[in-house]
């Protein structure tokens, strides 16, 4: 039974219901896999006792024949989510030792649906990063390696721990967050499925905030069907979150018919960028052919303000981050610096934040404070907000043309080497989000699915962008593309 951790959520659910194995056996398999994979540094706070308790309770529910959607399914949780009595540090030293006395809405919904918590997953500090190299816990290592090479690769970020854990079969699924691509980009780097829902579909209450108008939680899984299962549990209106939308949650799994005949798929010309690697161009072309073969109609579209998405994002997101992170001051919770006898409250704030925040967080807080300052507010922040509206309008105009979904690459490259981007301008790192950021700015749903391997043997993904609140339709198109691509490659175990 040691290979149970390799199952998908769908397969495990079937096995649990048919009594082929128990939730405790499934959970123990994952716990063993986690223990054997410490070199990946994906899990940072293990909760085996809690997991086995929840698994035992799930077995009782299963025996009674009243299983919930996630009964007995072991998952990991990104360290950005507050989990009761379990360290929740957002990958930052400034929250060291913080154990919430409450549960985030999304994790509460998952436990209510029978899911089993294996522990907390590594991430870029405060979700700021595209490689998972800014965490106080150290770097996460991608379970994939290039053919005939031993160099270690990044798993993407900020949900790098979630991505690596699912790809390495340490858990059956994981919860991530996506502010500018932090679910979809790492999913593409490790060959799994990553879904960012429509903004407002999932509650943000109890999730440590980075940029409040952009943050959205979502599932990271081994298949599209698994993502549909998890999304249904994670979704729903929450009165504690003012941005949570009060609308019914459909059975997303029921949308997965595999029939996309007549669907109109938009191909934005602006995403064909200068210098795009040939392998990304070919992957995109292959995806277009697959969709055509499935009966979809391919339509060339234009999203003219795409070229402004990255500059807009890197004004809006740091501005919101500088406001959100002002609460970490050494007074109420988390780290407090050691002070000299003559230090006052100002020195306490300064020393605490200097010690507690890492370089990337400091960089973004300073940028955010700058663009919000009196002399530059209109020149930067207000202008960025206006251009953000234009980007959103581009998508709305396209969807009014009866386009059902938009197909793009997920990332501009496959996973790169650990430390590679630390040696260059930070802007080069930010370019990893070039295909994903517009989706967050417009509040749309997006999903990355693995399609193929590059010439180095590393996974590559394609992104589908859906209409707001129509995740079901987007999932069905993704499901059809997944079946056509038939991506079954797995990382060779070296850890």
Contact (Cβ atoms closer than 8 angstroms) between residue 165 and residue 76: yes
DSSP 8-state class, residue 77: E
| 251/232 Cα distance (integer angstroms) | 6
Q: Mean pLDDT in runs of 10 for the chain (495 residues)?
A: 89 97 98 98 98 98 94 98 97 94 98 98 96 96 95 96 98 98 98 98 97 97 98 98 96 97 97 88 97 98 96 96 92 86 89 93 95 92 97 98 97 93 70 93 98 97 98 98 97 96
H-helix or E-strand spanning residue 290: helix 278-293
What pLDDT is stored for residue 276 in this prediction? 85
Contact (Cβ atoms closer than 8 angstroms) between residue 142 and residue 195: no
Its sign, for the CA torsion 408, 413, 415, 420, is: negative
What CATH code would you report for 4-261+414-423+446-456?
A: 3.90.1300.10
SS3 81: strand
What pLDDT is stored for residue 113 in this prediction? 98
> Closest Cα to residue 218, out of 338, 140, 85, 106?
106
| 412/495 Cα distance (integer angstroms) | 27
| 245/290 Cα distance (integer angstroms) | 34
Q: What are the boundaries of each domain within the chain?
A: 4-261+414-423+446-456, 307-385
Distances (CA, A) of 202 to 13, 247, 318: 23, 11, 22
Distances (CA, A) of 458 to 93, 144, 195, 475, 494: 33, 7, 20, 24, 15
- Token pair, residue 356, equals 């507690």
Residues near 488 by Cβ (< 8 Å), separated by ≥ 6?
Answer: none
| 42/405 Cα distance (integer angstroms) | 33
Record the pTM. Answer: 0.96
| 229/251 Cα distance (integer angstroms) | 8
Distances (CA, A) of 116 to 159, 170, 223, 458: 19, 13, 19, 31
- Catalytic residue positions? 78, 158, 182
| 80/95 Cα distance (integer angstroms) | 11
What pLDDT is stored for residue 2 in this prediction? 63
Bridge partners for 83 per DSSP: 86
Burial call 272-308: b when 16+ CB within 10 Å, e when fewer: eeeeeeebbeebbebbbebbeebebbeeebebebbeb
| 83/102 Cα distance (integer angstroms) | 6
Its sign, for the CA torsion 403, 404, 405, 407, is: negative
- Token pair, residue 48, equals 């085996």
SS3 459: strand
What pLDDT is stored for residue 330 in this prediction? 85
- Token pair, residue 314, equals 């890197």
Burial class (CB in 10 A: 0-12, 13-18, 19+), 386: exposed
- Residue owning tokens 């035992």: 56
What pLDDT is stored for residue 430 in this prediction? 78
What pLDDT is stored for residue 424 in this prediction? 65
Residues near 2 by Cβ (< 8 Å), separated by ≥ 6?
Answer: 29, 32
């Amino acid at each position: 039974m040691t290979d149970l951790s390799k199952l998908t959520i769908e397969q495990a659910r079937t096995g649990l219901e048919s009594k082929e194995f128990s939730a405790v056996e499934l959970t123990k398999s994952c716990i063993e896999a986690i223990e054997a994979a410490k070199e990946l540094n994906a899990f940072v706070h293990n909760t085996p006792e809690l997991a086995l308790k929840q698994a035992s309770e799930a077995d009782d529910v299963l025996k009674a024949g009243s299983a919930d959607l996630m009964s007995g399914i072991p998952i990991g949780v990104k360290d950005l989510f507050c989990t009761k009595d379990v360290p929740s540090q957002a990958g930052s030293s400034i929250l060291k030792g913080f154990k919430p006395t409450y549960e985030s809405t999304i994790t509460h919904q998952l436990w209510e649906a029978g899911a089993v918590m294996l522990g907390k997953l590594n991430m870029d500090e405060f979700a700021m990063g595209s490689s998972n190299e800014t965490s106080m816990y150290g770097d996460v290592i991608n379970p994939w390696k290039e053919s005939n090479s031993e160099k270690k690769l990044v798993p993407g970020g900020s949900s790098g721990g979630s991505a690596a854990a699912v790809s390495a079969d340490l858990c059956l699924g994981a919860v991530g967050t996506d502010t500018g691509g932090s679910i979809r980009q790492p999913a593409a780097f490790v060959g799994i499925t990553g879904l960012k829902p429509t903004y407002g579909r999932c509650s943000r209450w109890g999730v440590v905030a980075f940029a409040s108008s952009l943050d959205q939680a979502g599932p990271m899984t081994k298949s599209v069907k698994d993502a549909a299962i998890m999304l249904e549990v994670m979704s729903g209106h929450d009165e504690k979150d003012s941005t949570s939308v009060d609308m019914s949650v459909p059975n997303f799994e029921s949308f997965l018919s595999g029939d996309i005949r007549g669907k109109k798929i938009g191909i934005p010309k602006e995403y064909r960028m200068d210098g795009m690697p040939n392998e990304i161009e070919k992957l995109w072309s292959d995806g277009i052919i697959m969709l055509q073969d499935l009966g979809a109609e391919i339509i060339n579209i234009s999203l003219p303000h795409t070229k402004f998405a990255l500059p807009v994002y890197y004004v809006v997101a740091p501005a919101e981050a500088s406001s959100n992170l002002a609460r970490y001051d050494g007074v109420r919770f988390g780290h407090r610096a050691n002070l000299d006898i003559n230090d006052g409250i100002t020195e306490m704030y300064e020393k605490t934040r200097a010690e507690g925040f890492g370089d990337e967080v400091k960089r973004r807080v300073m940028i955010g404070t700058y663009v919000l300052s009196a002399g530059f507010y209109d020149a930067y922040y207000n202008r960025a907000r206006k251009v953000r509206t234009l980007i959103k309008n581009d998508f709305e105009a396209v969807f009014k043309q009866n386009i059902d979904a938009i197909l793009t690459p997920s990332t501009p490259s496959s996973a790169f080497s650990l430390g590679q981007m630390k040696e260059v301008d930070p802007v080069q790192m930010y370019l990893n989000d070039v295909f994903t950021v517009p989706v967050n700015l417009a509040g749309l749903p997006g999903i990355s699915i693995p399609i193929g391997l590059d010439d180095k043997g590393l996974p590559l993904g394609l992104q589908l962008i859906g209409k707001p609140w129509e995740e079901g339709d987007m999932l069905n198109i993704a499901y059809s593309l997944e079946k056509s691509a038939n991506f079954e490659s797995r990382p060779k175990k070296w850890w």
